[in-house]
Structure 1
């Protein structure tokens, strides 16, 4: 028994240690499970809060867009209604941005929740289109619209402004209506007065006519007798006239041909007189500056929006062809053309007898002095009524490099119908062409190298005396015949001649060169002279026929 008691007492501590370990493990497992559960619920609640936050921020952004949408509508209607207490520039900047978002439909959220607002946006845009298309007129019949002006970031007009202008228009129309009503009443009164006077007059006439009926019948009978007598006299005279016509028909036939010839000669004389009259007017103005002889008859009649393609009131009936050039001049306060040149143009298309399309070649000052409708065109060697005649001497530098291009200029002038009466041949230094400078010559164009201190290149000392003699002779002939002398660059500018950029700013070359090559096409010929010689030969033959 004692041994058993001792054995029980020795085994009891081991059992107690196992039970403690088990309890500890149980508590540990329960604590771990509790910690896991609490951790799980903690993270789950945090995710829920984050999702709620994202949803709240999205809703806030969408609501902000919705607020912008309604803000845009209020600003839209306010800008169309009135300018009183209008927006500041920064407000207009905001309005322009909101309007752009409304145009591309990004002003509203994409969420389906806002579909009703999207329908409302469509309605707003429809109203905007309607406002853009609305048009009114003021008292001066000027168009008033509600179109959006991108420059000012608001409509071009407001309902407030249009209402004010429409009220003024109504008052003007009412004033006109009242005036017409007054004139109508005056006319009706005048008509009534005239009808009353006519009734009195008619009654008086009827009264007088009743007593004159018998006298009128007798006078009518006398008239019938006189008429019959006159008819008989007419028949007798008709027979006599027929006989006279038969006798004179042969003589008329003989004179018909003579009259036709005389009429032809008369027309030729009229043309000659017209030419002489034009020449007389031109001769009187030759001593003046060619810029003072600009006529206001030929002008720009219309011009496109770009200001580069004007129309002028000259055409094929005025002897104008494509590639012809003109200088452009404004109109002064006195209604006369200004001598200062605004620019130049070139004819590109002949539209009609007195209409041609052109293109602008140059403009001196686009901002301060632009090309306008009504500006005058001028070319000193163009006249629709008579062919111009010119003489040329010196180095004709058309490109600014100092090289002589006299034959190119002569070719251009001949293409335009200009007669070259005389020119200083650069190859031989002789005065060429007939009839030479005469009272009919309009201009003497003086090129480079004539008044230079140093002799031009290409001229040796032996020929310098010949050059001086020839130029002095042409100048003396021009002076004796009253021919205006003009510098080459002044002439090119006045005629609108196409030249390189900065040509006029560079001025004449300090070392001009006379060409030593003859014209490959031969010397230019005044084409008027052969025609005159043929006319002189034909005159003796006509006299023989007579």
Structure 2
């Protein structure tokens, strides 16, 4: 009995050992199979990465092949007119319809898609409209030629418009020059007549004085000859003759003086008409803002027109039609230039601040000032001075000071009279040209000869 139990215990142990060995073998087998599967998956991932890189390279190759194809086409005579088709080694229709060997070629779709992608590229033509560069419908076109044609059309149109504008501008300028020359000739003619009348008055006065002196001498001689008995009668005759001659001479002098004054008034009216016609044109320069202190205003002038502190301008009210009034209402002087198109100005004179104050959008003008006239010779205004120029005291001649002020502003003084220079009183500008068609304005001062004659 004890022996049987011992055998049963040994059998059980053997069975346990057998199952242990089998379990160990199963675990080893499953572990080995797991590592093998993991290795297989890693190899699959690496293979997929390699295939992905190959696909990317193939895609780049297809794009490169398509580019080469188009470069080849661009090197040939491309069809431009409607209805022409591609004529290349590979026909486009065969690609799209899968004719020939391309039916079996796996790269056909990739190459065709690459070509279509290139054809879809757009650019802007000469008119600003986006267009396809390489294809129009089913027709390949030459983009450079199309753009060149559009550009040439726009260039010709612009050149034509520019020539028309230039022709009109030249015609207007020629008309204005002719009008200005005619007005200047009329003014010069009237000034010459006035000078001639003054000289005639002076000559008549000298002749009258010589005649009086002659009569006096004749009277004295006659009185000496006649003696004291006829002295009273001769004195009476002399007095009557002198009074008669003086009356006739005074009448003639008054007539000539009235004519001379009339000519001067006509000259002044003509100059006022010229100034008014200039002022009536709408000026681009305006009052843009009134400062808290109403004695200071802001104007739309700055470094863009080379305005400087000290430059002065007259202020004209802005009418409902956008034009300035004919007469100014105030005067302003530039204090500081603040920006490209902004400056601060001070009101130095105003006619009626209560009922007609300076307002925003009022016009600014100065016949002696022009934009950038200090920098550009062609923009400088030309003037001439005639007579004495008193600025403060009417008995003091300030001609030289006025010339310096005008030249500091950029104005060219073509001619003026220096009454302190007895040998050569007439002074001309540095060019030596004197009064010419460029002379814009004649500024007339006091006539010293008229003053001496009145004295």
**TM, length-normalised to structure 1:** 0.33
Higher relative contact order (Cα pairs below 8 Å, separated by 6+ residues): 1
TM-score (normalizing by structure 2): 0.39
